Amino acid sequence: MSEPTIRERIQQDMTAAMKSKDADTLSTLRMLKSALMEAKTRKPKDETLGADEEIEVLQRYVKKRREAIEEFTKLGRTEVAAKEQAEIVVTQRYLPLAISEDELRAIVKAAVASTGAATAKDMGKVIGVVMPQVKGRAEGAVVSRLVREALGG
C-alpha cells in the first residue's frame, strides 16, 4: 500500500478533528482541502495533483498566512495574528521538515563553487542550482538572502 497523499491525510485529520470537536484545526484543514481542490480544478480533467504540487499549494498558503501576520501585527491585531500563526502550525504538519539555515548555507556555498559565481549578477545561476535541492524545505526569500550574502551583495 502506498503512502497516503497530503489530501488524503488532511481528510483523515478532518474526521479526527470533527470527532474531537477541535473547531480551529477543522477550520484550517477545510481551508487547506479547499486550496488543494482549487489547484486540482486548474489541471486537465483526468490529471491529479502530484506530491510536489500539493506541497507548493500548502507553501503558498503558509506564505499568505505569514504576510497576513505581518499586516495584523502592524495594525496591533495580535489576536488575529495568533490565529494565523496557529493555521501555519497546522499546515506545517503536511510539509516536509524545513532545512536549517546552516545546512542551507552549506548548499549555497557548494552551489556558488560549482557555478563559479562571483558577483551578484550570478545570483540567478546559483539560485537555479539551489532551489531544486531544497524544494519544499526552504523558502525562496531565505535562499535569495543567503545567496546574496554568499556573493557579497
Q: Model confidence at 1, in pLDDT bands (50, 70, 90)? A: low
pLDDT, tens only, 48-64: 888 888 888 998 999 99
Look at 46 and 8; give whichever has higher pLDDT.
8
* CATH architecture of the domain with range 6-92: Orthogonal Bundle (1.10)
Number of H helices, E strands in the chain: 7, 0
- Nearest 5°: the CA angle 28, 54, 128 is 125
Closest CA to 92 of 62, 52, 128, 129: 62
Query: Structure pTM?
Result: 0.75
Ranges of CATH 1.10.1510.10 domains, the chain? 6-92
Q: Which CATH number fits domain 101-150: 2.160.10.10, 1.10.760.10, 1.10.10.410, 3.40.50.300?
A: 1.10.10.410
Greater confidence, 69 or 149? 69
* Average pLDDT score over residue span 30-47: 89
